[in-house]
A and B are shown apart, each in its own frame.
Chain A
Amino acid sequence: MSIINITLIVYMMASVAYIVREIWMSAGTKWVSFGLLVLSFCLNLTLVITRSVEAGHPPFSNLYESLVFYACCTVFVYLIFEFVYNFRIVGALASVLTMLILFYATLQDDTIRPIMPALKSNWMLIHVITYMLGYAAFGIAFVTSIIFLVTKPFGKKPQAISAEVKGTSPITFDKLSYKIVAFGFPFLTLGMVTGAVWAKKAWGDYWSWDPKETWSLITWLAYLVYLHTPLVLPKMNVNKSKMSVILACWLLFCFGIVNFTFVGLNYLPSASDSAHVYGSK
């Protein structure tokens, strides 16, 4: 069995362990689920590294490599947050999300092909890594928004953090989403800016309204709206509870945009003009 399949299975096991932990809430299960996810992260990282060594270039030159790397970043960002905030149920969905990304990767052409000259740049390295960390954070924010929307009708204020954690006050899922977006947004901005600098070096123009560039701007603007609406809605007599729902829904929509920017651009009629779209060639 290939490593990628083993990784998928461990992700699934981690996801089950997180659900079990949510039901029993014992300290033992906590370490099992966390351990499984760390294990799958290591496996995923192995995939990234072996691929990089095998191909002889940074492991994100085509869609397959990017997706594997994206999956890796998503768990990495999740683990940071779990370490800091000690989540509960978020881990189950986060590992499912990562598993889906990795599964989607297995459907792609994994042929190693030589990279084109424009991709040989250190700016590209920073550009992709920052972007992937940003996207990873938005993936987690997507998960927390789902949890927020699903749990909202049941409890008064479902808490994301177990009370057992010393010193931290409980935090609700909508605020948690905001914190995660706040973590990811600088990465997104850095990714976009480094991308522009790289484009200037490679193609002579930092911005040429290429579909990929335009959609990355759309993504950035969408999250910018998310960051600014809390200032607007209270002035429009929208109450707090309604506002949280609107923002959570907006985050779901934003993550859709992220995915479209990442893998969906091939469906655009203007895709053939783009220099960035993952080609079939």
Chain B
Amino acid sequence: MSSCCSASVEKVLRKWTKILTAADIPEAKQSVELIISHVLGHKMIHEVSVSRMLNVTELTRVDNLCEQRLTRVPVQYILGEWDFIDLTLKMRSPVFIPRPETENLAEIIHSHLRELEFATSVNQPRRMLEIGCGSGALSVYLLSKLREFHAVAVDVSAEACQLTRDNADLLEVDDRLTVLNEDIMSDSPSLEELSPFDVLVSNPPYIPCDEVGELEPEVTRHEDHRALDGGVDGLDTVRRILHMASSLVTVGGSIWLEVDSRHPVMIQELLNKQTDTALRYVKTWRDFEKRDRICQLEKVHA
């Protein structure tokens, strides 16, 4: 499908949109627009003139990338980068791609910690733990906004840990970030050593395992299932995190989790059953589609 001579943005866009649409690729036009803009050094198609001509090298590049899209590779992997709020982060297969809902989580945590900072005006360095950091979006974003914070990011996947390090380098927050390649489901002595933390944040795998297989190929075929599969009810990792939080988080510290919309109720029931828990359920936050999405908890006593 290679082209031998130059063609305009408009023409290439039309051609590939037709091909992708015929192959039933979701967001066909959107994908082609993003790929063309990327090849021409921009982010969005509106930054590029439609009459601009692509040379042979650019055309070949567009063709190659669009062919990848034909095999349902997520656009974010094809471009090798994606935006997270106001940051542009590297993306690499098979590390989980942050969703808009996680941007929401990051902003809520950010404004909460900001307020706290104003209220207490304690200027001493504060510590954050992220469990399941993936691309590192959450940690890197919060560290870039909150200069007094230091963070530890843990992920079971070595690729994820490397990507988190790369992104931390990119945004120059690597001096305040420690990345650990560990499986929290088994005992992790190094975390105990690094504790206590003032804040625990996580976007843990929360899709119930029987649903993982039914998702679009972009997700099931290309993203790391360890970042998606949350066990039978989707709460395996969440339960583990809540258990760990009791010992890792300081009294008065907050815990933030992104979960499935069915989970907040289940988590509250879970906490109610455990009479000896050190955690208090504070609030459920909704995403912009008004689905219950984010759980805020607090450690109340030792």
Q: A and B bound?
A: no
Residues of A within 8 A of B (CB): none
Chain B residues engaging chain A, CB cutoff 8 angstroms:
none
